[in-house]
Amino acid sequence: MSGRSGRARHASGHPFAGRSGHGDRDGGPGSGEDHGFRSLLGARSVAGQVLLLQILVAVLLITAAVAAVTFQTRRGSEQEAKSRSLAAAESFADAPGTARALTSPDPAAALQRHVDDARLGSGVDFIAVMAPDGIRYVDTDRTLIGTRAEGVERAAAGTAFAEIFEGAPNDAARAVVPVRDADGEVVGLVGAGVAIENVGAAVDRHLPILLGSGAAALALAVGSSALVSRRLRRQTHGLGPTEMTRMYEHHNAVLHAVREGVLLVGGGGRLTLANDEARRLLELPADAEGRHVTELGLDEDITELLASGRTVTDEVHLAADRLLAVNTRHTAPYGGASATVATLRDTTELRALSGTAEVARERLKLLYEAGVRIGTTLDVKRTAEELSEVAVPRFADFVSVELLDPVLRGEEPTEEHTQMRRAALSGIRADPPLQPVGDRILFDEPTTPMAAALASGHAVLEADLTVARGWRAQDPEGADETLAYGIHSLIAVPLQARGVVMGMANFWRSERAERFEEEDLAFAEELAARAAVAIDNARRFTREHTMAVTLQRSLLPRVLPEQEALEVAYRYLPAQAGVGGDWFDVIPLPGARVALVVGDVVGHGLHAAATMGRLRTAVHNFSALDLPPDELLGHLDELVSRIDQEEGGDGGGDGITGATCLYAIYDPVSGHCCVATAGHFAPALVLPDGSVDFPKVPVFPPLGLGGGPFETAELHLPEGSRLVLYTDGLIEHRDRDVDTGLRLLHDTLADHGNRTAEETCRAVFSAMLPPHRRDDIALLVARTRLLDPDRVADWDVPADPSAVAPVRAACGRQLAAWGLGDIGFTTELMLSELITNAIRYGSEPIHVRLLRERHLICEVSDGSSTSPHLRRAATTDEGGRGLYLVSQFAGRWGTRYTPTGKVMWTEQPLNGGPQPVPGLLLDDLSW
């Protein structure tokens, strides 16, 4: 190692660079030996030569493999020795006492024993500890102590390294690592290494295994080569190279020199051989040989003939633009495997007929493509565009399509055909001198081919527009511009379905020199007829879709009602292929409360939209009764069941079972929200801190299945919470399941905690709107507000008539504090009547509450569920006028029932209302 003067070779360099190795001795074979080898090759058959060459190749490959593995093993051993040396040196250098010992008065005494122990424990051949200049303090070989190690300058500079060292006293894989003190200064060096002879010993241990594996591989290669040679000898019949070369050259020359196509098809229907002429005539791919004839892209008739193995003579078949005379024969009687040989001859005298057949075939293909491409959507304009696109450029250079305005709107076409709207324009160039899409096209001049086609109901041909005076009569300037552009031929075809004209299709030619001919008329009419049927279907769908959407939107809320409990935003999108039964609602309730509703009627079309309207109306009616959510859904379930029975009894078979609904009531005074659902998804709740939760709401079957009695979930919503109600079209479609949709909704809502309701709607639709809507989507977002406690006043009332006056006075003072003195008298009058009725006819506890919201709300609750009724008292009656007075003075009033009793409530506008009528007060003041 160190101190051993010599050259250091890095791991990345050549392992023997700079060393004088043994020279290769050229022991080339003598001329006699070389002559014998060539004679051996010349005397053998092709099979024998292949056997010998395979053995030689196997020997070379195995030798190379053994050498490569040996070299790689040696390289790996050297690399492992360097890694081991570096690990030993670093471990000793990083030992706690090494740096301290190097700075002691006698480093050798302190480190010698540790060096010997470390060498034995690490598996290296030597370890040395040196001063920064390379002078050894300690070395496994004590004869080297005090000498200077060479090539350690990099470690003295602070860089540890590992290398293959070559020099005295022996070559080694060594590593040198600096030792640093607490200040980071290099105070010494530690070197460790493994002698190269020990590294080579590991390689020598592997040589027997490598040589044995090579011998086994050679034996296997010789055996397999013998088997291959035997098989080849049978295949070549023992022929030598000269005979086989001559046979192949003659066969190849004859096969490809003849001017007839030759095919050889095996018994399995696979192409075995094809000469150059056959490839040209049939336009075979380069890799045709070996493939089945059905995979070669040949015409159906030729494919069937070659696959069948039939024997035919001069049978004519169409192949691309050629008519071929085909002959087929079997090879079985003449030796060889069973196969069919076919000869092909190009019949040049029938090429004109072949061209006509090709045109007819191309037209049939175009008509088939038109049937596939036209009418892919139920959109009128898109269907017209598909007609114009399918005919360009294979039939016409430009195609324009005009439709009647009622057809574009989805209505029945009118009898007036003198003007249409251009719906589509396609061509080989983007700048034709034709009126653009959207322009009104007039057909006032009866001499034009368009007007003539509409009048006759058949296609009209103008083969040469340069001499067509009738065509120029409508617009001479436009005609001149069209001719200057190069358009020279026209076919005008009316678009008719069910005998009714939908529009007009015009086919123009400009780039191609040939003009339209009479035989093109039938094709143009067939193409237009197929397009007209598709346009009529799209028109009918457009009409029905428009009617359904109109009905649906008329049944949905156009504006949300005014209320202060919630900040509400919504989105609604009908399905693209039809309308469904999704709906939503925001319904103000007494006591400043608000009801939120989201529902979905399974199905699409007018029936679903009409059913949705019935259910929405029913929810409004039940809400007017101020029913709790569970009772309301119970009544709605009964209604749906009854509707199902009625519609099923009519024989229609289209019940509405599957309608779902979620109903929630939010109270801004307490911040509580009660929710019930019938088969609908639970709402998402976004708390003010931005966290998102899907509250657990009792799950019940959809409406109409008798899933009641329903249950209600009670939620507490802090101010600023957002309640998100939605239908299944938002979270579920064919490319996304429900769980994925709910996770995406959760992640979208969790982005920010301070969004407004409108911003939340926008974010949800931006992230979750599917590209193609197969179902309606309804989204309702409500951000909660709490009523300020300063705007709420309440009192408990004893069941004593004498308590009416104090409560009435307290209410008057509260109204004055709110600045509502103008309505104080009427309010006190109504409260007196309601409190008196509660004391007289109700039961304890009796409670009075005033709410100052958009209206002044007065509530008197008691523990009785007895329902008060408004009646008109007779002139001689002493009482019975109290509720009548309340109905006259209050803007709205009513009764709602609670689990513990009932609440009588009134609403009054804050800016005053009906004033007391003296005649009406006489009876009340007689208390």
> CB count, 10 Å around CB of 190?
29
C-alpha closest to that of 303 among 348, 347, 331, 342:
342
Is the confidence at residue 675, as pLDDT, over 90?
yes
In the block, tokens 């020359």 appear at 253
Average pLDDT over residues 416-441: 89
Percent with pLDDT over 70 in the chain: 81
Q: pLDDT tens across 349-358, in order?
A: 555 555 566 6
Identify the DSSP state of 85: H
Helix/strand/coil (H, E, C) string of 552-584?
HHHHCCCCCCCCCCEEEEEEEECCCCCCECCEE
CA distance 513 to 491: 15
Confidence of residue 566 (pLDDT cuts 50, 70, 90): very high
Looking at 148-191, list the stretches that DSSP marks H as alpha helix, in order from N- to C-terminal side. Answer: 153-156
- pLDDT for 780 equals 94
- Which residues, at least 6 apart from 810, have a Cβ–Cβ distance to it below 8 Å? 795
Is the confidence at residue 694, as pLDDT, over 90?
yes
Omega cis (within 30) before 914: no
CA distance 326 to 261: 9
CA distance 228 to 219: 14
Greater pLDDT, 153 or 654 = 153
Backbone angle region of 606, left / alpha / beta, with phi > 0 → left and psi within -120 to 50 → alpha: alpha
What amino acid occupies position 878? E
**Least confidently predicted of 60-64, 197-201, 260-264, 874-878:** 874-878
Beta carbons of 2 and 149 less than 8 angstroms apart: yes
C-alpha closest to that of 378 among 579, 537, 548:
537
Q: pLDDT tens across 749-781, in order?
A: 887 667 899 999 999 998 888 877 778 888 999
Confidence of residue 578 (pLDDT cuts 50, 70, 90): low
Q: Name the 3-class secondary structure at 177.
A: strand
Is the confidence at residue 480, as pLDDT, over 80?
yes
* CA-to-CA dists, residue 192 to 157, 175, 199, 230, angstroms: 18, 5, 14, 61
Greater pLDDT, 886 or 312 = 312
Beta carbons of 217 and 61 less than 8 angstroms apart: no
C-alpha closest to that of 493 among 481, 504, 482, 478:
504
In the block, tokens 């175009």 appear at 366
Q: What is the mean pLDDT of the chain?
A: 79
Q: pLDDT tens across 197-235, in order?
A: 776 665 666 667 767 777 777 777 777 767 776 766 666
Which tokens go with 341? 């040989």
Confidence of residue 920 (pLDDT cuts 50, 70, 90): very low
In the block, tokens 């639709």 appear at 765
Q: pLDDT tens across 699-745, in order?
A: 888 888 876 688 999 999 999 999 999 998 888 887 788 889 899 99
What amino acid occupies position 569? A
Beta carbons of 494 and 501 less than 8 angstroms apart: yes
Cα torsion 347, 351, 357, 361 to 10°: value is 90
Looking at 258-350, list the stretches that DSSP marks H as alpha helix, in order from N- to C-terminal side. Answer: 276-282, 300-308
- Which residues, at least 6 apart from 335, have a Cβ–Cβ distance to it below 8 Å? none
